[in-house]
Amino acid sequence: KQEVTQIPAALSVPEGENLVLNCSFTDSAIYNLQWFRQDPGKGLTSLLLIQSSQREQTSGRLNASLDKSSGRSTLYIAASQPGDSATYLCAVNRETSGSRLTFGEGTQLTVNP
Amino acid sequence: NAGVTQTPKFRILKIGQSMTLQCAQDMNHNYMYWYRQDPGMGLKLIYYSVGAGITDKGEVPNGYNVSRSTTEDFPLRLELAAPSQTSVYFCASSWGAFSYEQYFGPGTRLTVT
């Protein structure tokens, strides 16, 4: 059974700091991994999707990497801003079950001005 | 283009009552999904559909039913509501399986008392 773990559960940083969020998964047989942002009381917004054949994806100040063999992904946020404060979720799309996402529990990020 | 819409936003049910959570998408996506998110947890898949007339169970289907009569709509039915069904429910859609990102609605917060 696929399990997804995100560390740390919560993170508080000063504005301007570069930071890394971690995601690990137990079964390396995945099609892709997706990073989401969730604001309080809101739905999920897709940030980046990395295919299993890719090593990384970039969008603006965000960079996500994937090491499928070791079951790890990282989300790098450069020059953090207070507006980045949210919960960040990673989810893996399991190869054996098509487009069915398994989610981690998320990292709650607070960027202090 | 409204994306994925969900109604209602909030609902309080008494134990044993039934209700239907509505979900619609206007992106002509084939795949649609229902997830639940308990406090401090990641999302768990309840049911999904790969097209009109085709549905399948996810990780936590007990106590729920779905139907998919059109491409646009994917309602979730709760029969005989129980306190364990208190959660936030998210609907999502994607163009296809595997390589495609999922787009989420804003969620329905349900309390069963």
Q: Is A102 exposed, middle or buried (0-12, 13-18, 19+ CB in 10 A)?
A: buried
Return the pLDDT at A96.
60
B77-107 burial: b if 16+ Cβ within 10 Å, else e: ebeebeeebbbbbbbbbbeebeebbbbbbbb
Closest-approach residue (CA) in chain B for A50:
B99
DSSP H/E element including B21: strand B19-25
Return the pLDDT at A30.
87
> Are A99 and B96 in contact (CB < 8 Å)?
yes
> Are B102 and A99 in contact (CB < 8 Å)?
yes
DSSP H/E element including A38: strand A30-38
What average pLDDT does this structure show over A16-45? 92
Which residue blocks in chain B are alpha helix, DSSP H? none
> Are B48 and A100 in contact (CB < 8 Å)?
yes
**Max CA separation in chain A (angstroms):** 44
Which candidate from A44, A98, A103 shows the least CB-CB separation from B97?
A98
Q: What is the DSSP letter of B84?
A: G
Q: What is the DSSP letter of B25?
A: E
B49 touches B64 (CB < 8 A): no
Main-chain dihedrals φ then ψ at residue B64, nearest 5 degrees: -130, 155
pLDDT tens sequence across A46-97: 999 998 899 999 999 999 999 999 999 999 999 999 999 999 999 998 766 5
pLDDT < 70: residue spans in chain B = 97-99
Rounded to whole angstroms, the Cα distance separating A97 from A75 reads 25
What average pLDDT does this structure show over A39-48? 89
Tokens linked to A38: 């969730």
Return the pLDDT at B39.
84
Return the pLDDT at A93.
87
> Are A34 and B101 in contact (CB < 8 Å)?
yes
Rounded to whole angstroms, the Cα distance separating A93 from B29 reads 17
Rounded to whole angstroms, the Cα distance separating A34 from A92 reads 6
Rounded to whole angstroms, the Cα distance separating B50 from B70 reads 11
